[in-house]
Each structure stands twice: as C-alpha cells, then as structure tokens.
C-alpha cells in the first residue's frame, strides 16, 4: 500500500506498536552478536575480529579498541586481587556483574573510592552489612515470616477449606472470588496506570498462590535492593543447586521455610551443614519422596506388630469381635481379615533422593557411584520422614521403617541402625573429593565461565577439601584467582532472565512499588521463580537462554521498563541521562552507552543503534518535522537490549 506524502504528514507519530517493530528488527541484528559470541565472548584487545551485530566484522561483546592489556592498577584499589588485564572500571563492572546483580548509579564511583578489594571483603561477610532498608521493604510480605503451620491455616487448599467449612468446592471458590473483589475495591487509585494495574493484579492473589507470589517478589526485591549482594547471589545459586518445585503437592506451603530457614542461613557456611539441612527439610523430603521411603522388611515388621496389637485390642470385646465400623472407639481402618489398608501394601524403598543427593547435590553424575550405591544410600535414609505433612510439617525420624542391616555406600560401611546411618552417609558425601570437584565446578561455571579452566577448579577443590567445605573460603580462592579477572571472562556469561530483570532494575535506579509484574517477566522470559520442575534446577549455560524468541522477549522487557511502561515500577531517566539528552538523540545515545554499558560497546552495536536514531518513534515528531523531543526511554531500552548488557 502506497501512502501519500500528505497522509504521512498528517500522521504525527508512530503508534505504540512502533517500538515493538523496532525491537523485532534489532532482535534479529543483536541475535548475531549474542549467538556467535557464545564460547568466544571477545576478540583480542585492540582488535575487531568476529561477527558483527549487523553482519559485518566487529568485536562481539563490546571490548573497546583502547582496552589496556597488562594494566597496572593502584594497590590501594585492588589490594592482592590478581587483576592484570582489566581497567579499574572494567574490574568494578566485572565484580558487580558476577558477585552482585549489577551496578546501581553511583556504585562505580563509590567502589573506586573505597577500593575493590575492600568491597569484596565486605560482601564475603554479609553479617556485618546492614540491610535495614530491605528488611523494611520486605515487611509488605506477611507470609515470609510465617511457619508452614500458619500458611496451611491461612491459605488452605480449596477442597480442604470447603470440607472444613461444610460447603461445596464451588461455594468456596465463589467465596474466594468475593474476597478478591473486596480486596480490589480497597485498592487506592493513584492515577498512575502502571501502579494501579499492578495493585489490582496483586489484590486478586488471595489463595495459596499468594505464598509463592510473595516469595518470588521478595526474591526479586532482595536482588535489586539488598546491600548484601553476594549473599543474594549465593542464595539463588544454592536454591537452584538444591532445587524444589513449588507446585508439587504440599511443597507450596513448605517452600517459604525452606528458603528462609534452610538455604539463606547456610549460603556462606559449611557445605556439610547445608547438605544436612536440605536433607532434613520437609520441602526436600516431600519433593523427592523420601518422607515415604521405608525399608521393606522393617515395614513388614511394623505392619505385623500393628496387626498383633489390633488383634489384642479387638479380643477385648465380647466374642472377640471388633466393634461395628463408625462406632466407639472409632471406625475400623484395617482391610479384610485385619490386613493393613491397601494404600500401604506397596510402601517400600524410594530411591529418588538417594540418587539425586549423589548425582546432583554432591559427587556428581561422574562421581564414581553405582546403582547399588544408590540403593544403599536410600537404605541409609529410610525413616527420614515428615510429621503431619499437610498440617504442621516438621522432620522426624521414624525408626520403625528404618533398615537395620548394614549399608555400604561407595566403599564405606554404615551400621548404626538409626538416624545416624543417614547423617554419617551424608557427611561422607559432603567431604568426598569428588564432591569438592563437583561443587567447585558448579561455582566456577556460575561465577567465571560456562567452561571453567581445570586449574581453577582444581584450586577451588583443594580449598574445599582443606577447609571441610567452607563455602566462603572456596569463593575467596575463586575471586583471588587470575582466571576470574581474565579478559576472556569479562562479559562472557549470558544473564539468566532473573539476573537480567534484577540488573535492569538496578541500573535504571527504578523505584519498584509492586514487584509482581517484574517477577512475572522473569517467568515470561523462561525462568519462572520456584517453578523449575526437575531437580536439576535451571541451566547455568548460555545456550539455554540464547535464541531469537528469548532475545525478542528481552528487548520488549527492556523497552517497557526503560519507557516507564512496566506495572508497579517507576523509572526517571532525566537524572541519569541529563537535560541535554532530551533534545539531542546523538547525545542521548552516547550518554546511554556510557551509563549502561560503561562506554564499552562494539562498533557493530553502535552502528546498529545509530541507524535507528532518525526513526520517528525515537524522535517523537512528525516524519517531516524538526526534532521536538527525544524518546529517551526507547533509546535506553534499545541499549539495554544490546548483547553487551545481556551478558555479565
């Protein structure tokens, strides 16, 4: 269709979908930079080798031409950190992108003044850092401090709640809808469309879904606002390592306590303590079914003893006959001829946790164990169960179903005949040399590279073994290794959706009033929080997160957020970009590249972005009119969608 010049002059501005079109065009261009740079993030310093974002030849991850190799940094700044290939600003950005969720405005200057080594040392000791402002922010989520018992009571399952109230499930659902309508009616309208929409959305969450929603919002808030950034990163790392799926049965009600009482207190302590805490957590016991695991012979003995007791009990009645079902002293629960209920007939050994604790949590899939070791490990853990899992879940050891025979796991014999079988087997796994290697590899992959150098892993594993699995010491060994600070690792990791959301909010200095929309964006980009179903957790490798559809989603997120169109959040770019950027698109782009990418963008990225500056959607004017006002949000969104910001 041909549009006349007069018609075009009457069209004052592109409709809002114009931003989406720009995003789609740039997604195709930027995709080249992200995909082709996986595994080879940078060309050599001072060169422009590689595949360009626009199809030409350029560096892929934004290493500037004037990057200094062999830079000597001030001793006061770096201390004993082995930084030889990065500038001060690069070193700060690198540390904040790996040991934190990216910088906020002013962070670079603050760390430059205090010294990078001092900042890192502070982060390694989070207990000494005040997080009062975050604590106050988290008070808006009442479920965070509730025990599972109260969560079950206040946010019951619909069918159970209906039964308790003596109404039908349909009637209960209508009651909950009325509660939602009442909550929505109490929302104070502010006139801010983004905030009001987010408030309405949050008000609708009145049932059990509120528990995971508040946990997810708190996780995002912690990543954005916590002063204890490394602790927040480690909490995410360890939860992913010891993953639990929120939507498996009753785990939804147990997950809050799992994060609060099991994961967070052990983020930088001893790995053995963390392992034992997860093993005894009701959330993990339920998720991997160990709470129902029983030694077959022990279970048969228990059932036999139960039958004997029942026979004695029933024999006390005249004629030796049991009472009529439903009368005193209660309904008969045994099956025909005094047999146990059918649901218990097949109860036996469950190998799920025994397998995953070795394959995923400790020695790793190549850790040298056999299927027989899995069976024996499961035997060690029989009787590790949950008391009242649907009411007041807590760990308890049921010695009636624990295997009494000796168990041999990876050459070690355990013959205590008690809870100690499991405890000692887990301690053995926690301190196994293959666990030291496996955990060190996982940490190096997360913090350094998708394919960490064997020498680095070996040093970390040696520290792990020498300190009995002291996580803080292993982190320190990694941070004080030259591989961590090499130019090959700088911006070599692709951000997960969660990392992207947190780092974007931080760099924009966003004020997030209602975090639900941000948490939902994490899920929309492929990483719904606490909803990874397999025990593997989410992948930490680039190929999982790099594809055209995902990158388009990331660009749309950046455009919405930077354009102040994201529900529940407010962004003000004027203090960040300055007054001059409002009238000059070139200045706006230059300033955005400096602020959000540290002034380090590949020439291909610059060319691709500069080509969009004359777009009417950016200039916010008629196609034939002079510039009136620059759309800073659109320019910023496009910069945040560039490969350089998608990597850390």
Spell out the SS3 assignment of 579-618: HHHHCCHHHHHHHHHHHHHCCCCCHHHHHHHHCCCCCHHH
**How far is 25 from 369, CA to CA, in rounded Å?**
50
Looking at residue 422, what is its pLDDT? 98
Cβ atoms of 116 and 78 closer than 8 Å? yes
pLDDT band at 627 (very low <50, low <70, confident <90, very high): low
Rounded Cα distance, 322 and 318, in Å: 9
The string over 598-615, giving b where at least 16 C-beta atoms fall within 10 Å of a residue's C-beta and e elsewhere, is: bebbbbbbbbbbeebbeb
Q: pLDDT digits over 464-476, tens only?
A: 999 999 999 999 9
pLDDT band at 409, cuts 50/70/90? Answer: very high
Query: Position of tokens 């006002």?
Result: 629
Higher-pLDDT residue of 60, 41: 41
Confidence label for 29 from pLDDT (cuts 50, 70 and 90): low
Residue 441 confidence (pLDDT): 98
Mean pLDDT of the chain: 85
Note whether 564 and 517 are within 8 A (CB).
no
Q: Which of 42-56, 485-499, 538-552, 592-606 has the lowest mean pLDDT?
A: 42-56
Q: pLDDT tens digits, residue range 336-381?
A: 333 334 444 557 999 999 999 999 999 999 999 999 999 999 999 9
Residue in the block written with tokens 């969720």: 101
Helix (H, G, I), strand (E, B) or coil at 395: strand
Percent of the chain with pLDDT over 70: 81
Q: 61-70, 95-104, 422-431: which range is least confident on average?
A: 61-70
Nearby residues of 520 by Cβ (< 8 Å), 6 or more positions away: none
Looking at residue 492, its pLDDT comes to 94
- What band does 312 get if pLDDT is binned at 50, 70 and 90? low
210 touches 580 (CB < 8 A): no
- Who wins on pLDDT, 59 or 537? 537
Say which residue, 325 or 159, is predicted with more confidence.
159
> By the 8 A CB rule, do 305 and 313 touch?
no
- Rounded to whole angstroms, how far apart are CA atoms 647 and 623? 35
Burial of residue 226, with CB atoms counted within 10 A of its CB: 0-12 exposed, 13-18 middle, 19 or more buried: buried
Does a cis peptide bond (omega within 30 degrees of 0) precede residue 329? yes
Indicate whether 442 pLDDT > 70.
Answer: yes
Cα pseudo-dihedral 416, 420, 422, 424, rounded to 10: -90
Task: State the CB neighbour count (10 A cutoff) for residue 308.
Answer: 11
Domain boundaries, the chain: 5-63+546-646, 433-485
Token pair recorded at residue 88: 């001060």
- Answer whether residue 13 shows pLDDT above 70: no
Please give the pLDDT value at position 206: 86
3-state secondary structure 180-235: HHHHHHCCCCCCCHHHHHHHHHHHCCCCCHHHHHHHHHHHHHHHHHCCCHHHHHHH
Assess whether pLDDT exceeds 50 at residue 610. Answer: yes
DSSP state of 419: T
Residue 27: its pLDDT value, please? Answer: 59
pLDDT at 343: 46
Q: With 90 as the cut, is the pLDDT of residue 253 above it?
A: yes
């Amino acid at each position: 269709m041909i549009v006349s010049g007069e018609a075009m002059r009457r069209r004052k501005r592109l409709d809002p979908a114009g931003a989406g079109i720009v995003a789609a065009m740039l997604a195709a261009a930027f995709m080249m930079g992200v995909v082709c740079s996986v595994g080879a993030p940078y060309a050599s310093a001072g060169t422009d080798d590689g595949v360009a974002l626009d199809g030409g030849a350029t560096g892929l991850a934004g290493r500037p031409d004037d990057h200094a190799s062999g830079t000597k940094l001030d001793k006061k700044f770096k201390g004993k950190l082995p930084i030889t290939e990065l500038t001060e600003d690069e070193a700060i950005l690198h540390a904040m992108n790996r040991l934190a969720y990216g910088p906020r405005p002013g962070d670079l200057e603050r760390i430059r003044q205090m010294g990078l080594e001092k900042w890192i040392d502070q982060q390694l000791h989070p207990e000494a850092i005040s997080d009062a402002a975050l604590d106050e922010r988290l008070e808006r989520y009442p479920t965070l401090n509730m025990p599972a018992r109260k969560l079950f009571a206040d946010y019951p399952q619909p069918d159970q709640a209906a039964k308790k109230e003596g109404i039908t499930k349909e009637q209960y659902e209508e009651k909950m809808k009325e509660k939602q309508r009442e909550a929505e009616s109490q929302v104070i309208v502010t006139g801010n469309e983004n905030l009001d929409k987010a408030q309405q959305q949050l008000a609708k969450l009145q049932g059990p879904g509120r528990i995971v929603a508040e946990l997810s919002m708190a996780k995002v808030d912690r990543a954005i606002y916590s002063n204890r950034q490394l602790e927040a990163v480690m909490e995410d790392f360890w939860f992913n390592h010891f993953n639990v799926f929120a939507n498996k049965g009753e785990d939804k009600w147990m997950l809050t306590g799992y994060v609060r009482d099991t994961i967070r207190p052990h983020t930088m302590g001893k790995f053995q303590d963390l392992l034992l805490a997860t093993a005894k957590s009701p959330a993990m016991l339920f998720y991997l079914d160990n709470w129902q695991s029983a030694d077959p012979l022990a279970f048969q003995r228990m059932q036999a003893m139960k039958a004997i007791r029942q026979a004695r009990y029933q024999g006390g009645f005249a004629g030796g006959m049991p009472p009529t079902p439903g009368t005193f002293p209660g309904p008969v629960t045994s099956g025909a001829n005094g047999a146990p209920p059918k649901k218990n007939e097949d109860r036996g050994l469950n190998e799920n946790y025994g397998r995953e604790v070795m394959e995923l949590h400790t020695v790793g899939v190549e850790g040298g164990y056999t299927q027989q070791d899995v069976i024996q490990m499961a035997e060690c853990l029989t009787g590790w169960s949950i008391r009242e899992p649907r009411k007041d879940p807590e760990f308890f050891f049921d010695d009636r179903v624990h295997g009494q025979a000796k168990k041999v796991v990876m050459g070690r014999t355990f013959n205590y005949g008690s809870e100690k079988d499991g405890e000692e087997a887990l301690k053995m796994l926690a301190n196994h040399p293959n666990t030291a290697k496996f955990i060190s590899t996982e940490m190096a992959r997360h913090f350094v590279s998708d394919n960490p150098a064997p020498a680095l892993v070996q040093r970390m594993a040696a520290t792990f073994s020498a300190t009995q699995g002291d996580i803080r010491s292993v982190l320190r060994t990694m941070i004080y290794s030259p591989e961590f600070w090499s130019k090959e690792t700088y911006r070599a990791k692709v951000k997960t959706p969660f990392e992207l959301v947190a780092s974007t909010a931080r760099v924009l200095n966003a004020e997030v009033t209602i975090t639900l929309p941000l948490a939902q964006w994490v899920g929309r980009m492929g990483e719904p929080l606490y909803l990874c179903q397999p025990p593997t957790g989410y992948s930490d490798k680039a190929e999982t997160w790099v594809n055209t559809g995902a990158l388009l989603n990331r660009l749309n997120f950046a455009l919405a957020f930077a354009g102040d169109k994201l529900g529940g959040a407010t962004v003000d770019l004027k203090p960040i970009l300055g007054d001059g950027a409002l009238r000059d698109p070139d200045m706006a782009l230059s300033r955005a590249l400096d602020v959000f990418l540290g002034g380090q963008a590949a020439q291909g990225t610059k060319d691709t972005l500069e080509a969009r500056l004359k777009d009417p959607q950016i200039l916010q004017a008629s196609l034939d009119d002079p510039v009136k006002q620059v759309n800073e949000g659109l320019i910023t969104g496009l910069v945040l969608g560039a490969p350089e910001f998608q990597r850390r």
